[in-house]
Each structure stands twice: as structure tokens, then as C-alpha cells.
Chain A
Amino acid sequence: MKPERLSILMADDDPDDRMLVRDALNETQAPSHLDCVEDGEELLDYLHRRGQYAQLAADHQPRIILLDLNMPRKDGREALKEIKGDPKLRQIPVIILTTSNAVEDIQRTYDLGASSFLIKPRNFETLVKTLETLVRYWFETCRLPKS
């Protein structure tokens, strides 16, 4: 049964970027639900239901992960590697959403198994449109593995 909205887990250390994405998602017509973590460690904790996320319901896995690359403690590249190396987690599509436009990052993350790579737009309208497209693509067009 298809859930009512697309549940997204976003990992980004910048509270402003988190806020902007949340606001932009609210502006879109597409239905989504956003949870946030601040860095790679929290991301893995969340996915593994450990640490501060130990109490989280087991079926609460996100359908997609929006992943920033540059984060303290554990950055996006490392987290991506871990996720894509973990048989329990690697099915979750990971979409990189970062400020970096470095070619190496793009190539490397695709190599590591990221599903797609997006550069954070700095125009709010663009951000809204981008996220709308993203949510609609993943929610309406694509099939996602059962969470």
C-alpha cells in the first residue's frame, strides 16, 4: 500500500539549509514528510536505530535520503559508503544534495552508489521547483522498495 506522503530523511549540518528545504517542501504541491539529522553519525544512528534514535519505530525508515556532503563528525561521503555497504540500508535511494559542484564529488558519489546528485540551488523558487520535481519523481513516477 502506497503511503500518503513521501517520507524523506535529510542529513545536513547547516540549520539554514534544513530550514530552507523544509520551507520549500511545504511550498510544493507534492506531499512529503521531512525528518532531519545533522551529520553522518546521526544519520547512521537514525538508520540503525541506535543512540538517540533507539526508540524510533522500526518501520520508520525513510523512503529516500537527502544527503549533504560536507558535514562534521562524519561527512556525506563516508556516510554514503557506509549505507551502500550495509545490506540492510543500501536499498534506500540516496540523493546527494550539496553545495559542492566539484566534479570529483559528482563522480565519486555516483561511484559509491548515490542515486542522483543535486547542487543546492540558491534561488528559493528554484529550490521549490527542484524539490517538487524530486518528490514527484520519486513519489509518483518511481517505485521504491518497501520501507
Chain B
Amino acid sequence: MIETPLHITLIDDDEDYFVIVRDLLADAQDIRSELAWHDSYENGLAALGKNHTDVFLVDYRLGANTGLDLLREARARKIVTPFILLTGQGDQEIAVEAMKAGATDYLVKGQVDLPLIERSLRHAVEAAKHRTLVGRFVDIMESTNDLVSSCDAHGLITYLNRAGRRLLGIGDDEDLAAVPAKQFHPPTSAELIGRIARPTAEREGNWSGETELLARDGRRIPVLQTIIAHKTDSGKTEYFSTTCRDITERKRVEEELRQSTQQLEAVFRAFPDLFFLLDPLGTILDYRGGQSTDLVVPPVQFMRRRMQDFLPAEVTRRFNEALERIKGSGQMTAFEYSLTLPRGEQFFEARLVPLGAAHVVVLARNITERKQAEQSQARLATAVEQSAEAIVVTDAQAAIEYVNPAFERVTGYSRAESVGQNPRLLKSGRHGPGFYHDMWSRLAAGKTWSGQLTNRRKDGSLYDAESTITPVRDQDGKVINFVAVSRDVTYQRNIEEQLRQSQKMQAIGTLAGGIAHDFNNILTVIGGYCDLLAANTAEDDLNRKDLEEIQKSTDRAAALTRQLLAFSRKQLLNPKVLNLNEVIIGMSEMMQRLIGENIELRPVLAKSISSVKADAGQLEQVIMNLIVNARDAMPFGGKLVIETMMVQLEGLQGTPPGDLAPGAYVGITISDNGVGMSDEVRSHLFEPFFTTKGLGKGTGLGLATTYGIIKQSGGHITVASELGHGTVFKIYLPAISEHAEQKSAATASPPQPGQETILLVEDEDALRKLSTRILQNCGYTVLAAGNGREGVELGLQNRERIELIVTDVIMPLMGGKDMVKELKPILPRARILFMSGYTDDALSEHGVLEPGIYFLAKPFTSARLANKVREVLDQ
């Protein structure tokens, strides 16, 4: 059934026939049609290709031309529309000719009836359709990129499409009929096709495989070939068709991939890292490379399993976190972890990279060595950083590369300030150029240098260091760095120095004190006898003059002895409770006058300081002495600072200077920025008779006396100085609580004769004899003993009579104190008068003279002795 209306074009110059056809078609049940009519050859010609026509009905007789002409014309124009020729009766030959010319059918005009025309139309349409289909197929064949060809059963080409021709380098027009197909294959492929492909196709219907074509120019073209065997109904192969796809590109890509894979394999084999290919959940899809000893379990156990299933919990946690991270960011992420493996704890760094949406690549690198190196380096660095010794590293040219914190602390230079500098920035100027030259020669020769250095800090202060400088070599033996390790020994030195000083002073003091003690006794004797002689010599006696000379010398000697005693800290002081601020303020006008206008006096007095106990006059002397010294050190002016402060001297770290007990002290500092003094001078500063003034000027006892006074007051004095910079004196005096100890007023001394019995105990014969005489002269009865033992004896024997014990303190066999202790119960009434060069000796442990105990200082005059004795007896 022809559904769509059939477009029929009738070309006939006979209008009547048109009507007949029209009426016939109108009656057609099976065909719907639309009829167009052209009444001439020319009109028909013009209509060709213009309007859509499914079938042409063409009369043979068309005037000058025939329907056949029209047909030929149409065919020449490649119009394939079916032509049905209308002939008259008897035009048999025309009909045949028409068929040959390409007409689809012919109809005898007179015999046309509806069924005939119907059948003819139908046939024409079918044929047209068929022809269209065929045409289409041919188009497809011709337009595909693949080679399509056919050959007969003997392998002779019957068809080759355009693509095939191109591929093989054959022209479109070349006639290939009866050319054997194997001409276009290299021998191996031809062999394959002949032996295997075609037989397989015949057997199974088709064969596919890779073969090669041989182009005209000799190129071998790899193709994917399909051969199909077409059989007749009887099963005999009629022809073969074949399609060949050019796979050159594909082959090339495959080769590249193969090579690339090989390379990758080689790389993986050489790669020490572990490579895992995972899915996003962590399932191990593939694994490459690495050391098998780095695996927790063998591959066979982990392939296709999840990473998380056999990693320790902590590692799993990190791994999951890493997966999360890359899920979010799509970027690479890394984490470190450690595993306990048979050969010990190993450290790894894992890197995760997302690969598309479906894969994750994990690279795990064993970083154990690196970690160990890092740790050991960190340890080393910490050791250097935390070392208490100053460490400097320089390059081979002595430019500083690194300094540790201890260096910063000791020198005051920060790391930033030091790097790049030469260590000579610490130069103190205390060492001559020879010193540094020697040091450098040693180092340049690659040797280690060790020694003591005086360096200068950033703030200008000096310190001493014990240093060792070592050259560092690379593996070729070339020096690449110097390392200097130094210890600040200033503190130590200071302590040593102080100790030496203190010991020296003590030694001198003891010596001086000892000598002075003996001296005192001797002087007392001399003076006493002088007095006696003088009393018995007339004023105009010549001997009188001589006696006076003797007395004069004795006086002189006594004065010196006094000063020596002051130095050896045994002096009679008159201590009172003082506030040092008040003392200094009281002296300030005088200080200002003394130091003059060129020097700025700066008092810095602490707001509240404790009181001290000292002899006011002596202390004022001390302060004035130091002020004047400071002034003399600044001939061109300067600044003199006098400070008071509370000082807590600790027992532990800051060892108190001198031999002071830890505790609270009031400090006075007198500092100047004058000429300073050398270490040499400073070390002798407090020695008696040491003076830097000229001969005949000063007695040189000023500072020695100062020292003695301070020591006797229970304090200490130190001096620090630097040539050209200035000097600082520091005095420490023990702080006392506010209970002022009032000493009662002295009592008068009645020098009266008496008749009492006195026990006199003195180990020095001459002095004992003299004292006995003096006292006897006064009327006393004297019982004399030479030591404590004898004294006790005499005491026992004369217990009723003795009213006063006059005794020396230091005696052989038994000293005065012990004797008194023994005699106390025996002679309860007797008063005690100690004679001594030292006030201390008479004092109890509490530093107080007990009631009933009196004291007479040596040397004493006879009058003094007499007076004192009287006074004591009168109490």
C-alpha cells in the first residue's frame, strides 16, 4: 500500500490522455496520487528536478523529441526518479531500448487500465526505493573512513571504497576489477588472510584480526580487519567483503604506553618509597616499590584489603585524617608516623595524592635516618643553646656565624648584633697585639688555642674568660669553621681576689695587732719609768731634758701604735646608734665645700634605711676620707655619687664580701668617674703605709684606718676600679633594730690614794713590777702574780683582804678571764679591772662589759692606772 501521496508527473502532448490517466488515478483505491502534467518535451525538461516527483510517466512521442530523450537527459542529470515510458502498440523495440536506457517500466497506451497502471506504479516506486537504498548504501561505503572492499571467491577485488583507495594510494578512477586483493597486503598478512582469515570467515561467517595493508608507496599500514564471507543459498561462498580500520595511531599510542609503562616499572623498581594505589575508602588496589622490610604485613595479606585494617591505631587515625583532608581540598597532604618493625622503630612520611575522583595514591617514605639525624642535631643544638658556656662559631675568615644564648648573656651582644662580626668586637685592649698574633698563628696552623682572655662587654665593662678555640675541618681537611667555647671566670676571679685580699688583710692585721700588743706593753713600761724618773728629777736637772726626749719618742711610738691598732681593728670606739642618711646629710655642706664646683655631688639616699651602730666621729672620718679620695681622682671635674641603700647579703650565690654573715646591711657607695686605679694599686689600697702620695705627704694610714674602723664596726669595705673610668667604694655596715642602746654617762675618776689590798696579775715582769710600784706608791697593798694560776693561789690565800683584782687578759698557763671565773666564788666582793690592749678581750660574748668588770686600756700612764684603780674601788 502506498501511503503517502505519490507525486506523478505526466509528460504527454495529448491532453486527452492526461484526462484518461487522471481519471484512472482518481479511481485508484490503493494509490493516492497527485498528478502533474506537462504537455511538451521542453516543459517536461524544465520540470526535471524542479518539483518533487516520485514517478515520471512519459509518452514516447513528444514531438521532435522522444520520451527516451527525456529519460536520457534525466539520467544524465543524475535524476534517478523512476521513468515509466508510454508506448504505442507495436513499439516493442522502443520499449526494450527504454528499459536499456534506464526506464523502470513501459506501458502500452492502448492497454493501460487501472490495475496495470497501479502495478506499474507500484513497481516503479519499489524499484526507486530499492535504487535509493542501494544508493544510500553506496554512499555510506564511500564516505566511511574505513576501507571497505569486496572480492570474489577467488580473492579478486570487486569493489574498493574511496577510503580504501586513499589509504592505499590508489586513484578514484583506477579500475581494480580482477586485481587480487593480496596485492595490497604484505606477505605475512596475505598469508594470514589466505590461510586463516578467509577460511575462518567461511566457516564461522566472519573473522577479525590485526593485519597489515601494503600501500602503493610501500608503507605498511596496521589495520584491524574484518572479513565476512557471503554465501549463496547452497552454501557456496559467493564473495567476501572486508573492512579495514587504520590502527596506526592506536598502535603508536600502544607502543608509547608500553614503553612508558616499562619506564615506570623501572622507576618503581628503583624507588625506595612504597607506592600504594587506593580507592577513596583506603582499599589497596595496587602496590609497588619500597623495601619489603618496610611492610607491616606481606603484600599478599594487604592487597585488596583496607590500609586501616592492618595499621596501628595511631597511624590509622592520622591516615583517616589525611584522607579527610584530601577529600575536602583535593590537594596533596602528608603526615608522619612510626611503625615498630622487626629491625626497630622506623619513621615514615606518607604523602596522599588524589588521582581523579576514584583513586588515591599513597607514597610512604622511610625517614628514620633523617629523623635520627634531626634528633641528634636537635640534641646537639640544644646542648649548645643551653650550655652555660659561651659558644661562638665563625667561618674560616673568623666572621661570626652563630652565638649561643650564654654568649648573649655574658657579653651583652645579641645574636643579631654578633653574626657577621669579627670576634675582635670583644677586644678589651688589655692584651697586646702579640697576644692576638700568637693566637691567630696557632689557629691558622690548624691547632687548638686555649687560654685566658680579658674581654669587653657591650656596656664597656670588662670580664675575664677562659677560652678554647678549635678549628673545624671538612672531610678534605680544610678548615671551614672555628668554634670558641668560653667560661666567664670574672666572678670566680673576684671571689679568689677577695679571699686573697681578705686573708692578706687578716694576716697583716694579726701581725700588726700582735706587734702592737707587745709594743703597748713596752711603751707603757718606758713611759711609766720615765714618769717616775721625771718625778724624781729636778726641773733644772740636765737629765730632765733627756727624759723629755725619751717621753717624746714614746709619745710618737704610742701614736703610731694607735694607728696600727686601728688598722688591726682593735681600737677603742664609741659606738652609737646612727642613721647614715642623717650623718651624710649633716656632712653634706662640708662635702660640697671640699669637692669644689667642678665636681657634681649626687646624693642618692634610700628613703628608709635601718640604723647602724658605729662611732660617729670615726664614721664621719671614713666618709670624708673617701669623699676626698674621690675628689682627688677627678682633677678636671666629674661626678661623685654617694648612695645609701639596704642590702640583703645572701649566703649562697652572691657570697658576701669579706667575711660578713648573711643578713641585712646598710650600704654606702661612694663612686666617682675619675682616673681610677690599676689593679696593682687597688690590691694594696688598704694596706697601712701604702700611699701613692709623695714622700713626707700624708701618713698613708688613711685608708688602712678606714678599713680598720669599718671592720671593727662589724662591716666591710670593698673597692672596684678601672683605670680611666673611675672607682667605687662600697661600705657594708650591719643593720640594727631600732632599740637604741644608750650607754650611760661615764663616771668621773677620783685619783685618790687608798690603802686597799689589790691582787695584781700580769705576766710581763717589767710591767708587773712597775704597776706594783705605782700602786704601792699610792698606798695600796699589792699582791702580785705572774699568771692566772698564781693569781688563783694568791686569791685563795688572801681571800679576806683582796678588794680589787687588776689583771691582764692574755697570760700563759691561765688567762685573766678564766682566773676571774675561778676567783669569783672565792672573792665575791672583789671588783675586777682588766688591763689590755684590746677592748674585745674584756668583753663577754655579747660584746658587753658586765657589771662589776672594768677595763683599762694599755698603754696607760701611771696616773691613769692609779686613777682607775681608785675609781673602781670607789664604785
* Touch A–B, Cβ below 8 Å: yes
The 5 closest A-B pairs by CB, nearest first: A122-B620, A124-B589, A124-B590, A123-B586, A101-B617
Cβ contacts A93-129/B at 8 Å (1 or 0 each): 0000001011110011000000000010011110100
Minimum CB–CB distance from A117 to chain B (whole Å) comes to 13
What is the bound-complex CA distance between A16 and B629, given in angstroms? Answer: 11
Contacting residue for B699 out of A72, A78, A102, CB 8 A: A72
Kindly state whether residue B696 has any CB partner on chain A within 8 Å. Answer: yes
**CA A23 – CA B586 in complex, angstroms?**
17
Q: Does B556 belong to the interface (CB within 8 Å)?
A: yes
Interface contacts beyond A101-B617, A101-B618, A102-B572: sample of 17 additional A-B pairs, CB < 8 Å, sorted by A: A19-B594, A20-B590, A72-B696, A75-B559, A77-B556, A99-B617, A99-B621, A104-B558, A104-B562, A108-B555, A122-B590, A122-B617, A122-B620, A122-B621, A123-B589, A124-B589, A124-B593
Partner of A122, one of B555, B624, B698: B624
A73 interface contact, C-beta 8 A = yes
In the assembly, what is the distance between CA of A69 and CA of B556, in Å? 11
Asked whether, in the complex, the Cβ of B593 is within 8 Å of the Cβ of A70, the reply is no
B556 touches A75 (CB 8 A): yes
Q: Mark A19-36, 1 if CB is under 8 A from B, else 0.
A: 110010000000000000
Q: CA–CA, A23 to B562, complex, Å?
A: 31
B552 at the interface (CB under 8 A from A): yes
Q: How far is the CA of A30 from the CA of B628 in the complex (A)?
A: 28
- Give the total of A residues in contact with B, Cβ under 8 Å: 27
Q: Are A102 and B562 closer than 8 Å at their CB atoms?
A: yes
Closest A residue by C-beta to B586: A123
Q: Please pick, from A81, A85, A119, A122, the residue contacting B586 in the complex, using a CB distance under 8 A.
A: A122
| Given known contacts A78-B552, A81-B548, A122-B620, A70 and B590 CB-to-CB distance under 8 angstroms | no
Q: Cβ of B621: which chain A residues have Cβ within 8 Å of it?
A: 99, 122
A41 to B786 alpha-carbon distance, docked (Å): 44
Tell me if B574 counts as interface (CB < 8 A to partner A): yes
In the complex, what residue of chain B is closest to A78 when comparing beta carbons? B552
> Which B612-662 residues sit within 8 Å CB-CB of chain A?
615, 617-618, 620-621, 624, 628
* Residue of A23, A99, A127 with most chain B CB atoms under a 10 A cut-off: A99
Q: Does B697 belong to the interface (CB within 8 Å)?
A: yes
A13 at the interface (CB under 8 A from B): yes
Question: Is the C-beta of B587 less than 8 angstroms from some C-beta in chain A?
Answer: yes
Inter-chain contacts of B857 with A (CB < 8 A)? 104
Q: Is there contact, CB below 8 Å, between B555 and A123?
A: no
The docked-state distance in angstroms from the alpha carbon of A107 to that of B857 is 14
Binary interface encoding of chain B residues 413-430 relative to chain A, with 1 for a CB under 8 A from any of its CBs, else 0: 000000000000000000
B555-586 interface (Cβ within 8 A of A): 555-556, 558-559, 562, 572, 574, 586
Docked-complex contact B594 and A16, CB < 8 angstroms: yes
Give the residues in chain A near B628, CB-CB below 8 Å.
Answer: 16
A13, A72, A119 — most chain B CB neighbours (10 Å): A72
| Whole-angstrom CA separation of A102 from B864 in the bound complex | 14
Cβ-closest chain B residue relative to A119 = B617
| Contacting residues, chain A, for B697 (C-beta < 8 A) | 13, 72
Taking a contact as CB atoms under 8 Å apart, the answer to whether B593 and A19 are in contact is yes
Q: Are B559 and A77 in contact (CB under 8 A)?
A: yes
Q: Is B555 touching A77 in the complex (CB atoms < 8 A)?
A: yes
Chain A residues lying within 8 Å of B594, measured Cβ to Cβ, are 16, 19-20
Task: Assess the B593–A78 pair: CB atoms within 8 A.
Answer: no
Chain B contacts for A75, CB-based, 8 A: 556, 559
Complex Cα spacing A90 to B242, Å: 164
A89 CB to closest chain B CB (Å) equals: 16
Closest Cβ–Cβ distance, residue A76 to chain B (whole Å): 9
Chain A residues positioned under 8 Å from B618 (CB to CB): 101
Sample 14 A-B pairs with CB under 8 A, ordered by A number.
A16-B628, A19-B593, A69-B559, A72-B696, A72-B699, A78-B556, A81-B552, A101-B617, A104-B562, A104-B857, A122-B620, A124-B587, A124-B593, A127-B590
Question: Is B574 in contact with A101, judged by CB distance below 8 angstroms?
Answer: yes
C-alpha gap A81/B699 in the complex (Å): 21
**Closest chain B residue to A112, Cβ basis:** B555
B593 in contact with A20 (CB, 8 Å): yes
Taken together as a complex, chains A and B put the C-alpha atoms of A19 and B631 apart, in Å, by: 14
- How near does chain B come to A93, taking the closest CB pair, in angstroms? 21
User: A13 near B698 (CB under 8 angstroms)?
Assistant: yes
Contact between B587 and A122 (Cβ–Cβ < 8 Å)?
A: yes
Residues of A near B589 (CB, < 8 A) are: 123-125
In Å, the complex CA distance between A73 and B694 comes to: 13
What is the CA–CA distance of A122 and B572 in the complex, to the nearest angstrom? Answer: 20
User: Hey, which chain B residues are within 8 Å of A103, CB to CB?
Assistant: 572
Cβ–Cβ < 8 Å partners of B572 in chain A: 102-103
Taking CB atoms, residues of chain A closer than 8 Å to B555 are: 77-78, 81, 108
Contacts of A77 in B (CB 8 A): 552, 555-556, 559
Q: Which one, A16, A72, A85, contacts B548 given CB within 8 A?
A: A85
What 0/1 readout, one digit per residue, does chain A (52-91) give for beta carbons within 8 Å of chain B?
0000000000000000011011010110010001000000
What's the minimum C-beta distance from B844 to chain A, rounded to whole angstroms?
Answer: 23
Interface residues of B in 696-713 (CB under 8 A from A): 696-699
Q: Which of A2-55 contact B (CB under 8 A)?
A: 13, 16, 19-20, 23
Q: How far is the CA of A70 from the CA of B562 in the complex (A)?
A: 11
Chain B contacts with A in 294-349, Cβ cutoff 8 A: none
Query: Residues of A contacting B587 with CB < 8 Å?
Result: 122-124
In the assembled complex, how far is the CB of residue A52 from the closest CB belonging to chain B, in whole angstroms? 14
- Which A residues are in CB contact (< 8 Å) with B558? 104
A77 to B551, CA, bound (A): 11
Contact indicator per residue, chain B 831-875, by CB within 8 Å of chain A (1) or not (0): 000000000000000000000000001000100100000000000
Q: Are B556 and A72 within 8 A (Cβ)? A: no
List, in ascending order, chain A residues with CB within 8 A of B617's CB: 99, 101, 119, 122
Considering the complex, give the chain A residue whose CB is closest to the CB of B697: A72
**Chain A residues near B562 (CB, 8 Å)?**
102, 104
- A131 CB to closest chain B CB (Å) equals 13
Distance of A104 Cα from B621 Cα, bound (Å): 19
- What B residues does A23 contact at CB under 8 A? 593
A65 to B337, CA, bound (A): 100
A102 to B615, CA, bound (A): 12
Q: How far does the alpha carbon of A85 sit from the alpha carbon of B572 in the complex, in Å? A: 31
Residues of B within 8 A of A101 (CB): 574, 615, 617-618
Q: How far apart sit A69 and B562, CA to CA, in the bound complex (Å)?
A: 13
> From residue A129, how far is it (CB to closest CB) to chain B in Å?
12
**Chain A: minimal CB distance from B372 (Å):** 75
| Cβ contacts under 8 Å, A16 to chain B | 594, 628
Complex Cα–Cα for A72 and B702 (A)? 13
Find the residue from A23, A77, A104, A127 having the highest chain B CB count within 10 A.
Answer: A104
Closest to B859 in A: A104
Min Cβ gap B409→A in Å is 44
Contacts of B590 in A (CB 8 A): 20, 122-124, 127
Give the distance in Å from the alpha carbon of A102 to the alpha carbon of B586 in the complex. 22
Q: Closest A-chain residue to B587, C-beta based?
A: A122
The interface residues of chain B lying within 8 Å CB-to-CB of A78 are 552, 555-556
**Which residues on B sit within 8 Å (CB–CB) of A99?**
617, 621
Most buried by B among A16, A20, A122: A122
A102→B572 CA distance, assembly (Å) = 8
Q: Which residue of B lies closest to A76 (CB)?
A: B559
A73: chain B residues at CB < 8 Å are: 696
CB contacts (< 8 Å) of B574 on chain A: these are: 101
Rounded to whole Å, the gap between the CB of A55 and the closest CB of chain B is 23
Q: How far is the CB of A19 from chain B (nearest CB, A)?
A: 7
Q: A70's closest neighbor in chain B, by CB?
A: B699
The residue on A at minimum CB distance from B618 is A101
Give the residues in chain B near A13, CB-CB below 8 Å.
697-698
Q: Name the residue on A nearest B621 (C-beta).
A: A99
- A68 to chain B minimum Cβ distance, whole angstroms, is 12
